[in-house]
Chain A
Amino acid sequence: MNTTTQKIDRRSFLKAGVASTGGLLLGFYLPDRIKLAAQTVATDAKLNAFVHIGSDDSVTLFLHKSEMGQGVVTSLSQLLGEELECDWKKIRTQFAGVDMAYGPLQGTFGSMSIRTSWDPLRKAGASAREMLVQAAAQKWGVDPSQCHAQNNEVVNTATSARLSYGSLADAAAKLPVPAKVTLKDPKQFHLIGTSPKRLDTPSKVNGQAVFGIDAKVPGMLYAVVARCPVFGGKVASFDAAKAKAVPGVKQVVQISRGVAVVADNTWSAMEGRRALQIQFDEGPNADASSASIRKTFMDMAEKPGAVARTQGDAAAALAGATKKIEAVYEVPYLSHAPMEPMNCAADVRADGCDVWTSTQIQTSAHGTAVKITGLPPQKVKIHTLYLGGGFGRRGGDDFVGEAVEISKAIGGPVKLTWSREDDMQHDLYRPASYARFAGGLDAEGWPVAWTTRIACPPFGGMRNGVDFTGVQGVSDIQYAIPNIQIEYHAPQVGIPVTYWRSVGYSQNCFFTESFVDELAAAGGKDPFEFRRSLLAKSPRYLAVLELVADKAGWSKPLPSGRFRGIAVVNNIGSFNAQVAEVSVTKGKLRVHRVVCAVDCGQVINPAIVEQQIQSGIVYGLSAALKDAITIDRGRVQQSNFHEYDVLRIDEMPVVEVHIVPSQNPPGGIGEASTPSVVPAVTNAVFAATGKRIRKLPIRPEDLA
């Protein structure tokens, strides 16, 4: 059992695993490439940090971003391949190790992979191509201008002679890197803007894709950690005797976050943890509850806060308005709940440390391991494996720190696995938020004033008393309203928080787009026309609004019992408008159809854009319809999917995606659609029931 891995010597495994590349070779399993990899003893020539060419004519692209489903393995390969002029079928990809060549903060977040790679990766591809062309020109004794690159070969334009990239790689790698390269005119693109099949699909339908939780290191043990259920608490004492008596349990060691039970398999480690006798000092948050937290937010929101945006004189305009509308909106804490629970494998030795994990931020994982081991940074290697979902959660390095501490304590390789309960109860949550809104309308029903006061635990970065993530989606509204005042309070309530797909927009777009709908209704205006008028000077907003209204048939009647809602957002450099169609029957809400129009600038891969829009909508719908993390006695009350259910296939609406053609630089896409689906649905509920949803998730009593 497991004999193949057991027999491999740990040191030779490590050497082979990281040989020359600083990364674990994953073999993205494409059948013809597997053969290629297995049969040849090709040498690899490094043309730059992203492009290696093998003497066997293979092309290995080193990707500095994590693949968590958003398609970067494919889309970043398209950016490189477009300029490299390589054979798409010969591409292999590998996740890069930590290297300054990939920037000081190597990570995948904020829907920035394409935006930040658009120029550098095309340049890296072009630079490698130029070097191959130069090498060929030297061999032929001609000027490089007489050669061109095409499908993994350099062609002598005059003679039609050809040299393969593989035969040129060694010579090319010795040439100086071109100081300047010319990028293609978009009209010449043959890969960018097309939808080749995802490179990671084949390995994800046969069990071969290696996720963090699948890491195998010869001789490794398996660990779970018992942590204080109350945030901020710590271990007071423990007795390991009963845990150690569980078959398979090898060691019980204390680490900074709790007590690790280490066994020869994950199950035994979990059983050992069940038997562990442990007492906690619950610390200062032991009495925290959702009710107490909400009261803190409410009390703060009564008073003026730090000013995030001020324009005109909102107080005076409100006082003078013909009609005044007030509303309070709130959302709960949310868990990310990616399908792959947190995990990390680590091997701390006297002379180095290797970490295999599904991380969103390699530099942070690296920094954490360096700090804990005390090793020189170059002795610590981070091997990124596939992420079974990220959604912001894997930007945290808590699980990496735990695994490194355990490996250091036991003096050998170990894989830490979190249970689903660990994952849900020790997440870094999307913060709860509480917001008071007021709006004033003139005699014609157009808004003259807008005020918002938000109380939301800070989770991005404070500046002048304002956490930009806490207010994003409100403070940046583009509606033509003359008087605006946005204020912010930063409650500190002891619940760990972080980014959750679409960050502040995840809650603030719900608030904003619902309140805009309230103003439209109070002014007797159509929700689409109201937005259209107030965004008349914002052409990209208008384009998505008008496209979605057209495709959804906004002006046409719906079948009996169906109702529509609309919402729009500009986040991550993209514009996204959605129309949701719902029915409410006997207190039961059903979302039937969501039409989405998106302008994300230049599109790299339309099929992946469509996937990401669908994905973000499903993620947002779970938050709208189902999810809440609640706190009692300082603990999270939900433990697994029976208490934190998410959208399932029988609840999936038809999602239609329409992309606005654009030559603008690329925007982001991974988080584009999560914000606006929520208010599109709640606004549709208002159309159906006359009831305004101001609190998530939507409860049956909100519909009756």
Chain B
Amino acid sequence: MAAIKFSLNGKAQTVDVVPQMPLLWVLRDTIGLTGTKFGCGMALCGACTVHLNGQPVRSCVTPISSVAGKNIITIEGLSPDASHPVQRAWIEEDVPQCGYCQSGQIMTAVALLNKAANPTDADIDEALRGNICRCGTYQSIRRAVHLAAKYHAAANGTPATRAAGGAE
């Protein structure tokens, strides 16, 4: 056991756990932030996706020791009031069904939009193919990512040029 310090959703956080404990379980069990979900434990499904220094990572295979000194953003830290463009788009498109995978879908989509302000369907498929949804919300996810790109562009004053929608 050793104290590990990192930034969690913009606040300093210290945990005293075994160094190999995955970030997922530190978040869920030690800290009590359960928005990040356990789905497979092997980086196969994407339900546990969080941002580490802005990059999407699978928290189920990220040892807490590797997080020391880094910035972690979870679904709870995306916005204080569900106002992030991706969250707004998810609400507008009513994307979730059971909702269990959606924290991971949203965190992956946010990372995609940070990298590509106006992604194509192919970009979306590439970025999100690691995130399983058993309820089959994929078509809504594609629509919502395009809509989030529009919201983003509107907020930044740069209109999205490509039309949203259309799966192929």
A contacts, CB < 8 Å to B: 1-2, 4-5, 31, 67-71, 197-198, 200-211, 213-214, 216, 222, 247-248, 264-268, 337-341, 386-391, 417, 419-421, 592, 607, 611, 614-619, 640-642, 646-650, 652-655
Contacts and interface: CB of A to CB of B under 8 A. Distances in A.
Contacts of B36: 207
Contacts of B128: 649
B129 A650 contact: yes
Contacts of A337: 134
A339 B101 contact: yes
Contacts of A71: 97
Given A68-B98, A69-B98, A650-B126, A640 B136 contact: no
B66 to A, nearest CB: 15
B131 A388 contact: no
A340 B87 contact: no
Given A206-B35, A617-B136, A641-B40, A649 B129 contact: yes
Given A70-B97, A206-B75, A266-B25, A5 B32 contact: yes
Q: How large is the interface on B (under 10, 10 to 19, 20 to 34, 35 or more residues)?
A: 35 or more
A376 B134 CA distance: 38
A206 B130 CA distance: 20
B116 interface: no
A205 B21 contact: no
A5 B38 CA distance: 21
Interface string B124-141: 111011111111111111
B163 interface: no
The residue in B44, B75, B136 that gathers the most chain A C-beta atoms within 10 A of its C-beta is B136
Given A207-B35, A264-B29, 18 more contacts: A1-B31, A31-B81, A200-B96, A201-B90, A201-B99, A202-B91, A206-B78, A207-B36, A213-B37, A338-B98, A386-B100, A611-B97, A614-B137, A615-B97, A618-B135, A649-B133, A652-B136, A652-B167
A301 to B, nearest CB: 32
Contacts of A615: 97, 135-137
B56 interface: no
B32 A4 contact: yes
Contact of B45 (A206, A209, A339, A386): A339
Contact of A386 (B31, B40, B87, B99): B99
19 contacts: A198-B94, A206-B78, A206-B82, A207-B36, A213-B38, A216-B32, A267-B25, A267-B29, A389-B134, A417-B38, A420-B39, A611-B140, A614-B139, A619-B134, A640-B42, A641-B132, A648-B138, A652-B167, A653-B167
Contact of A652 (B28, B38, B98, B139): B139
A207 B34 contact: yes
A525 to B, nearest CB: 32
Contacts of A341: 38-39
For A390, A607, A640, A650, the residue with the greatest tally of chain B CB atoms inside 10 Å of its CB is A650
A694 B13 CA distance: 57
Contact of B138 (A5, A618, A641): A618
A206 B134 contact: no
Contacts of B94: 197-198, 201, 607, 611
B138 A649 contact: yes
Interface string B28-59: 11111111111111101101000000000000
Given A420-B41, A642-B44, A652-B167, A214 B34 contact: yes
B163 to A, nearest CB: 15
B18 interface: yes
Contacts of A200: 96, 99
A202 B96 CA distance: 9
B145 to A, nearest CB: 10
A668 to B, nearest CB: 16
Contacts of B124: 649
A247 B128 CA distance: 36
Given A214-B34, A420-B42, A265 B29 contact: yes
Interface in B114-163: 124-126, 128-142
A580 B33 CA distance: 42
B99 A69 contact: yes
A247 B2 CA distance: 12
A565 B129 CA distance: 27
Nearest to B166: A654
Nearest to A649: B138
A208 B35 contact: yes
Contacts of B29: 2, 222, 264-267
A204 B37 contact: no
Given A206-B82, A640-B44, A648-B129, A389 B98 contact: yes
Interface string B3-20: 000000000000101100
Contact of A339 (B15, B17, B31, B100): B100
A31 B91 CA distance: 13
Contacts of A67: 98
Contacts of B97: 69-71, 611, 615
A642 B42 CA distance: 9
B135 A389 contact: yes
B67 interface: no
Contacts of B22: 267
Interface in B79-115: 79, 81-82, 87, 90-91, 94-103, 106
A207 B138 CA distance: 19
From A203, A338, A619, A641, residue with most partner B Cβ within 10 Å: A641
Nearest to B132: A646
A265 B139 contact: no
A651 B4 CA distance: 41
Contacts of A386: 98-100
Which of A208, A214, A391, A655 has the most CB atoms of chain B within a 10 A radius of its CB? A214
A266 B82 CA distance: 29
A619 B125 CA distance: 18
B67 to A, nearest CB: 14
Contacts of B142: 649, 652
Contacts of B131: 648-649
A654 B166 CA distance: 8
Nearest to A67: B98
A248 to B, nearest CB: 7
Contact of B25 (A31, A265, A641): A265
B99 A640 contact: no
Given A206-B87, A213-B38, A267-B21, A618 B136 contact: yes
A276 to B, nearest CB: 17
A206 B138 contact: no
B105 to A, nearest CB: 9
Contacts of B17: 265
A209 B28 CA distance: 14
Interface centre among B35, B126, B141 (most CB of A within 10 A): B35
Contact of B100 (A388, A616, A618): A388
Nearest to A31: B81
A389 B139 contact: no
A339 B103 CA distance: 12
B18 to A, nearest CB: 5
A424 to B, nearest CB: 10
Contacts of A419: 41
Contacts of B33: 207
B168 A592 contact: yes
Nearest to A343: B38
A346 to B, nearest CB: 17
Nearest to B103: A207
A264 B97 CA distance: 32
Contacts of B133: 339, 618, 649
A391 B15 CA distance: 38
Q: Which of A201, A204, A208, A213 has the most CB of B within 10 A?
A: A204
A107 B2 CA distance: 46
Contacts of B126: 650
Contacts of A390: 98
